[in-house]
Amino acid sequence: MHHHPMKRYFVRPAKPGDLEAVYDLIEKQNTVDYGNALRTIDDLRKSWESIDIEDVTCTAHADGHLAGYAELLEGDSLYIYLADRGNTDLAFQLMTILEEKALAHKTETVKLFAKISEKNNTLLQLFASKGYRSNLSFLIMEVIMDAPPPAPQWPEGIAVRTFVRNQDEQGTYEADEEAAEDKGYHTPLSYEDWVKRMRLNTDSFDPGLWFLALNGNEIAGVALNIYSKESKTGWVDHLSVRRAWRKRGIGRSLLLHSLGEFYGRGVTHVKLSVDSQSLTNAPRLYEQVGMKTIQQYHIYTKEIDAVPPIS
């Protein structure tokens, strides 16, 4: 870790006027770390409108330039962006400020999270040295199709159809949640939180990309996909098969069906994110349909005790 001569930073919460400069920083870092920006400037603007930026953001300026930006988002997740990727001192300063913000107004233990790309050594080393631990890593896998994928082979008694609005919400929620219980990192979601997480009520939601594998009236598995206009990329967001129907090739068929639908729409670039230690050995399945690992990221967590108020 190379240390910089201690620079003097002017540190303050973000202001609406910082939007362009902050977005530029996020876009540059995410492009190196993840291969794309992950957010649009509009996403950032909306995010700032929905949070108290005074309370959960921090910018660092030096010589009239933005040197760093940090934010504490829902569920106490720390995000740190640096103009100079090797600037450990500034990263440490920003982390310390975010931890203080996370503890403000809290009376019990706070669990902090950070998602860090395998490519970001500065942050990986900093979080590890500050007592954060990672027992969870994800792979981002992709396929670029130059021909239609093989047709799915559905097992006897299994039929597939697209999601129907105002009919399938509850059943899809229950199937997705039940299948997700086997993921070591899964936090159970209420129906409302699931709807929000899956962006069901947003303009970008496309029910034509959600597929249900049915056994009679029972949902055996789901492939819940999204299309990202900015990057012209299809994402297999949730691919889940319920326990009773596993080991019959339904997951593979749902995946091939999804790839076929994307291909038919002219979308040849498809990605997904998967737990590298997946219990169902999902990465193996994805490799069999031609997907390759392009990135890896780690989830770091730490618990810190809130300081009890002085009575």
Q: Averaging pLDDT over each range in 73-82, 150-159, 181-190, 266-275, which range is the top one?
A: 150-159
**Predicted pLDDT at 197:** 84
In this prediction, residues 90-114 reach a mean pLDDT of: 91
What is the spatial distance between Cα 24 and Cα 157, in angstroms, rounded to a whole number? 51
Indicate the average pLDDT of the chain. 90
What is the spatial distance between Cα 82 and Cα 101, in angstroms, rounded to a whole number? 19
pLDDT digits (tens, 9 = 90+) for 139-153: 889 999 999 999 999
pLDDT at 108 over 60: yes
**Predicted pLDDT at 280:** 67
In this prediction, residues 167-182 reach a mean pLDDT of: 88
Which CATH code fits 142-298? 3.40.630.30
Higher pLDDT, 32 or 203: 32
pLDDT at 300 over 80: yes
Domain 10-131 maps to which CATH number in 3.40.50.300, 2.40.50.840, 3.40.50.1220, 3.40.630.30?
3.40.630.30
pLDDT at 276 over 60: yes
- Give residue limits of the domains in the chain: 10-131, 142-298
pLDDT above 70 covers what percent of the chain?
Answer: 94
Tell me whether domains 10-131 and 142-298 share a fold: yes
In this prediction, residues 21-50 reach a mean pLDDT of: 92
pLDDT at 1 over 60: no
Residues of 6-44 as b/e, b for ≥16 C-beta within 10 angstroms?
Answer: eeebebebbeeebeeebbebbbebbeebbbebbeeeeeb
- The CA R_g of the chain, rounded to the nearest whole Å, is 21
Least confident of 22-31, 101-110, 152-161: 101-110
pLDDT digits (tens, 9 = 90+) for 218-255: 999 999 999 988 789 999 988 989 989 998 999 999 99
pLDDT digits (tens, 9 = 90+) for 115-137: 999 999 999 999 999 999 988 88
In this prediction, residues 62-77 reach a mean pLDDT of: 91
- The helix-helix angle for 88-103 and 121-129 (nearest 10°) equals 50
pLDDT at 287 over 60: yes
Whole-structure pTM value:
0.73
CA 173 to each of CA 85, 244, 253, 283: distance values in angstroms, whole numbers, following the listed order: 40, 17, 20, 24
Higher pLDDT, 97 or 35: 97
pLDDT band at 188 (very low <50, low <70, confident <90, very high): confident
Cβ atoms within 10 A of the Cβ of 112, count?
21
Q: Averaging pLDDT over each range in 238-252, 256-270, 286-300, which range is the top one?
A: 256-270
What is the spatial distance between Cα 153 and Cα 176, in angstroms, rounded to a whole number? 22
**Predicted pLDDT at 135:** 81
pLDDT band at 184 (very low <50, low <70, confident <90, very high): low
